Chain A
Amino acid sequence: MRNNTKLFLFAITCGILTSNHLIAQSIQNNFSNITLGEVHGNIQLDAQYYIPDSTIGAPKVPEKMLSNGFANINYTRGKFTAGIRYESYLNALQGFDARYQGNGLEYRFASYKSDALEVTIGNFYQQFGSGLVLRSYEERGLGFDNALDGFRLKYEPIKGVYLTGLTGKQRSFMTYGTGVVRGFDGEMQVNETFAKLSDKKLKVMIGGSFVSRFQSADNPSLVLPENVGASAGRFQLSRNNFNLNGEFASKINDPNATNNKIYRPGDAQLLTASYAMKGFAVSVSAERSDNMNFRSDRNATLNNLLLNYTPALNKNHTYSLLTFYPYASQPNGEFQSSEEVNWKAIKKSNYKLDITVNYSAANDLDTTHSLSVDEAHNFQGYKTKSYSFGKTTIFRDFYVEVNQKFGKKYKASLIYSYQEYNKGIIQEPGAPTIYSSIIVADLTYRMQGEKTVRVELQNLSTKQDKHDWAQAMVEYTYNTNWFGALLDQYNYGNEISKERYHYYSATIGYTKNANRITLSYGKQRQGIFCVGGICRQVPASNGITLSVTSSF
């Protein structure tokens, strides 16, 4: 290119660089009704350096350092949204499925929303009702992501009626499953659709869904159904302080890897009733699930390619010794119930008291082994009476929590929980049931200005497994940005005295608006952790951990 042209273009570029702001301003002034859209996102990085420790069984990690990273970037302009997510597992942290490997754009979508219609192409998450037939979601801290990739339409034909249709394949770690998923859901807010009912005190919602997966038959000795469908109906009734909601689901024959390939159909029911007023609330829930493990691949196991979600109704605990033996929902056979009463002093006072009592239980189903076959001579597996439950206890949790404020400086919580945990059914056949009593005391002292000290003391006593544990934590908040914590979990009751280990850790953290960085050294158990003002799901870890989260 000729020198003159080059010089000319160089001058133009300089001019552009210096008048950048003016250009943008003039564009905005001339086309003030056109916006250029917004770009926002978030990132999360968890990196760990592992220290091999044979005494507690911490394995040697050949890579020494492992990390999981996520970055979501979304662009929105008016009715249009598009986004991508970059994930990196180089390599995945301990406790995450090793199939999370490598890096790439694991999630991408585009969607357009007009008043009544919304179209999404690419990846999306979706839940129908309470999730008994379809729940596609992510729980990053646990390495769970069963996103769908395909097409979704949402349509609101008349006020109060919501229709959703979707088709897609499900995410399986760094790739997709073979099953094709189709689903349809309809929901009606009766009081909105029928204008005459809009003022009625009784609010009614009804809905129904149908989900089907197609997977070619792959077993020469069995006649496998290639299309397996599940349907559900749901409702919600609310009146003043009362609420009643339920969902009833059923699935046709679905011989799969988790149910010994039986041809028995499945069903599940979920029902909740509650009453709440200022300062007092009662809630009762029950769930029954019979052969409702539903996936987009009949051969998938563990947490892979799950299509539906049967919730564990027991209280979601946050203190680590309370979640030492956590209940996991058994979709192929469980009957659960959970009742809770909350009472909280209403009057404005410096001595506020609040009390919560919760009783949660889970049993197996009352089944009798059956050699019966259906019309096609397929093995049914077992028989059970509808809505009944069996005699085997899977889980019990009797829980009492008392919180008391003492003026503006002191807050105290005292918790007692008695739990029964059938390890043989929940984890490994042959293991015993564990009976444990747990006490937790959590005290907060607000010092000068923003400085706060929080002390947490916990004790778990049991005659099974590794016997008694104690945990102490001190958390010091210097100001709204800085905090530090020291923790020790001690297995003082272990029958083998040389295995009475201390699982200690030290953490320091910095938060500024939507950015947060924490550094810890030590050992941490899997579960929900609430430290430094944040709660998150954390998998088991050991070593030096760095965590960064940011939203922009």
Chain B
Amino acid sequence: MKKIVIGILSFMILTNLSTAQTIAAADVKTVDGKTVNTSKFTNDGKPIIISFWATWCKPCKKELDAIEENYTEWQKETGVKLIAISIDDARSASKVGTEAKSHSWDYEIYVDENQDFKRAMNVNNVPHTFVVDGKGNVVWQHNSYAEGDENHLFEVIKKVAKGEKVTE
């Protein structure tokens, strides 16, 4: 009986485990070949967007192009930073930098060549976008891109920048 009570108590405690999600730790590379650990991603307490994409993923590039058109305004208003993580493997990893530059994306670009960060963040398919608050907690995530989704994304970022809770 004692065991059952202890078991129930432990279960009660365990189910109150934090459901907040921090950025998983994995090594990714910059386009220059430098290794960076994702746990070091920071934006001085301001919101971060982490967007998983690939050079072969057209909806991903559409999303990043759509955000680029508003990026300067978004940054002015909320200080947000977008980190674009490419899951291209050795077939196309060398084209990540060229693709990003030719699209004039002003984001921080990293290559997750063996998809370690993708697995650690439980991403199934791309595009998959996360919004991280000033404390490093993932407060919102979305899979797929439809025209106009960037407006929803901006609503979420504005809330996060003000410190409000994101409910959707």
B5 to chain A, nearest CB (A): 6
Q: Mark B17-41, 1 if CB is under 8 A from A, else 0.
A: 1111110110100011111000000
What residues on B are CB-neighbors of A446 within 8 Å? 147-148
A-side interface mostly: strand
Count of A-B residue pairs with CB < 8 Å:
231
What residues on B are CB-neighbors of A280 within 8 Å? 102
Q: Mark B72-104, 1 if CB is under 8 A from A, else 0.
A: 000000000000000001111111011111111
The answer to whether A24 and B91 touch across the interface, beta carbons within 8 angstroms, is no
Task: Choose from A41, A241, A450, A516 the contact partner of B148 (Cβ within 8 Å).
Answer: A450
Name A162's closest neighbour in chain B (CB-CB).
B35
What residues on B are CB-neighbors of A42 within 8 Å? 122-124
The answer to whether A127 and B142 touch across the interface, beta carbons within 8 angstroms, is no
The verdict on B135 contacting chain A, using a C-beta distance below 8 Å, is no
A75 to chain B, nearest CB (A): 9
A413 to chain B, nearest CB (A): 8
The answer to whether B24 and A76 touch across the interface, beta carbons within 8 angstroms, is yes
Which of the segments A312-320, A365-373, A498-506 contacts the partner chain?
A: A312-320
Asked if A38 meets B17 with Cβ closer than 8 Å, knowing A125-B116, A236-B33, A535-B59, the reply is: yes
A274 to B33, CA, bound (A): 13
What residues on A are CB-neighbors of B120 within 8 Å? 74
Q: Which of B93, B126, B148: most chain A Cβ within 10 A?
A: B148
Interface residues of B in 138-154 (CB under 8 A from A): 140-149, 152
B18 to chain A, nearest CB (A): 6
Interface residues of B in 95-120 (CB under 8 A from A): 95, 97-104, 113-116, 119-120
Asked if A533 meets B146 with Cβ closer than 8 Å, knowing A38-B20, A127-B114, the reply is: yes
Interface residues of A in 502-551 (CB under 8 A from B): 511, 513-516, 528, 530, 532-536, 549-551
Which of the segments A92-100, A219-227, A342-350 contacts the partner chain?
A: A342-350
What residues on A are CB-neighbors of B146 within 8 Å? 450, 452, 477, 479-480, 483, 532-533
A281 to B25, CA, bound (A): 31
What residues on A are CB-neighbors of B125 within 8 Å? 516, 534-536, 549
The answer to whether B90 and A452 touch across the interface, beta carbons within 8 angstroms, is no
A313 to B92, CA, bound (A): 7
The verdict on A195 contacting chain B, using a C-beta distance below 8 Å, is no
What residues on A are CB-neighbors of B121 within 8 Å? 551
The answer to whether B94 and A283 touch across the interface, beta carbons within 8 angstroms, is yes
Interface residues of A in 1-45 (CB under 8 A from B): 1, 5-6, 9, 12-13, 16-17, 20-21, 23-24, 27, 35-42, 44
A511 to B14, CA, bound (A): 30
B13 to chain A, nearest CB (A): 7
The verdict on B64 contacting chain A, using a C-beta distance below 8 Å, is no
B51 to chain A, nearest CB (A): 13
A92 to chain B, nearest CB (A): 18
The verdict on B58 contacting chain A, using a C-beta distance below 8 Å, is yes
A149 to B32, CA, bound (A): 31
The answer to whether A535 and B54 touch across the interface, beta carbons within 8 angstroms, is yes
Asked if A38 meets B18 with Cβ closer than 8 Å, knowing A44-B124, A281-B101, A344-B103, the reply is: yes
A404 to chain B, nearest CB (A): 13
Task: Choose from B113, B122, B128 the contact partner of A127 (Cβ within 8 Å).
Answer: B113
Asked if A278 meets B147 with Cβ closer than 8 Å, knowing A13-B5, A127-B114, A311-B89, the reply is: no
Q: Mark A211-222, 1 if CB is under 8 A from B, else 0.
A: 000000000000
The answer to whether B18 and A35 touch across the interface, beta carbons within 8 angstroms, is yes
The answer to whether B144 and A533 touch across the interface, beta carbons within 8 angstroms, is yes
Task: Choose from B102, B122, B126 the contact partner of A535 (Cβ within 8 Å).
Answer: B126
Asked if A346 meets B98 with Cβ closer than 8 Å, knowing A1-B1, A127-B114, the reply is: no
A411 to B24, CA, bound (A): 36
A44 to B147, CA, bound (A): 25
The verdict on A259 contacting chain B, using a C-beta distance below 8 Å, is no
The answer to whether A530 and B59 touch across the interface, beta carbons within 8 angstroms, is yes
What residues on B are CB-neighbors of A41 within 8 Å? 122
Name A449's closest neighbour in chain B (CB-CB).
B148
The answer to whether A277 and B33 touch across the interface, beta carbons within 8 angstroms, is no
Interface residues of A in 266-297 (CB under 8 A from B): 270, 272, 274-283, 285
A348 to B127, CA, bound (A): 24
A283 to B97, CA, bound (A): 10
Asked if A9 meets B5 with Cβ closer than 8 Å, knowing A205-B34, A533-B127, A534-B125, the reply is: yes
What residues on B are CB-neighbors of A192 within 8 Å? 34
Name A113's closest neighbour in chain B (CB-CB).
B25
Name A450's closest neighbour in chain B (CB-CB).
B148
The answer to whether A243 and B32 touch across the interface, beta carbons within 8 angstroms, is yes
Task: Choose from B12, B22, B114, B115 the contact partner of A16 (Cβ within 8 Å).
Answer: B12
Q: Mark A388-423, 1 if CB is under 8 A from B, else 0.
A: 000000000000000000000001000000000000
The verdict on B60 contacting chain A, using a C-beta distance below 8 Å, is yes
A44 to B94, CA, bound (A): 29
The verdict on A552 contacting chain B, using a C-beta distance below 8 Å, is yes
Interface residues of A in 468-501 (CB under 8 A from B): 477, 479-480, 483
The answer to whether A5 and B1 touch across the interface, beta carbons within 8 angstroms, is yes
Asked if A552 meets B122 with Cβ closer than 8 Å, knowing A38-B17, A238-B33, A344-B103, the reply is: yes
The answer to whether A513 and B168 touch across the interface, beta carbons within 8 angstroms, is yes
The verdict on A378 contacting chain B, using a C-beta distance below 8 Å, is no
The answer to whether B91 and A312 touch across the interface, beta carbons within 8 angstroms, is yes
The answer to whether B33 and A189 touch across the interface, beta carbons within 8 angstroms, is yes
B103 to chain A, nearest CB (A): 6
Interchain Cβ contacts under 8 Å between A and B, 15 examples: A9-B5, A20-B12, A113-B25, A162-B35, A270-B90, A276-B101, A277-B101, A317-B56, A340-B98, A477-B147, A514-B143, A533-B144, A534-B126, A535-B125, A551-B123
Sample of 9 further A-B pairs with CB below 8 A, known A35-B18, A243-B94, A354-B103 = A13-B5, A72-B119, A127-B114, A276-B101, A281-B98, A309-B89, A343-B102, A477-B147, A551-B122
Q: Which A residues lie at the B interface, using CB under 8 A?
A: 1, 5-6, 9, 12-13, 16-17, 20-21, 23-24, 27, 35-42, 44, 72, 74, 76, 81, 113, 125-127, 130-131, 135, 137-138, 162, 187, 189, 191-192, 203, 205, 236, 238, 241, 243, 245, 270, 272, 274-283, 285, 309, 311-313, 316-318, 340, 342-344, 346, 348, 354, 411, 444, 446, 449-450, 452, 477, 479-480, 483, 511, 513-516, 528, 530, 532-536, 549-552
